[in-house]
Amino acid sequence: MTYDAGILFLSQADKRIGLIDTMANALEDRRQINKIRFDVKTMLRERIFAIALGYEDCNDLDT
């Protein structure tokens, strides 16, 4: 059993209401397209879910 399982519920809820998609569409991405590794939507999803899971900073997201 894991305490991170709640993210599955959060992910399904986001897919249903489209909150992260709406937020990503509201932000203007001025980065150079050939230098982008992750789009805004992916970065928002990763950060919001990390906060929801209780991670204080982004240094845990690599593992």
* Mean predicted confidence (pLDDT) in 28-45: 92
Range of the domain at 20: 3-60
- Please choose, from the candidates 25, 63, 16, the residue with its C-alpha nearest in 3D space to the C-alpha of residue 44: 25
6: its two tokens: 């709640």
Count the domains in the chain.
Answer: 1
DSSP SS3 for 43 = helix
58: its two tokens: 């982004």
Cut 0.85: pTM above it: no
Over the stretch 1-21, which tens digit does the pLDDT of each residue have? 566 788 889 999 999 999 999
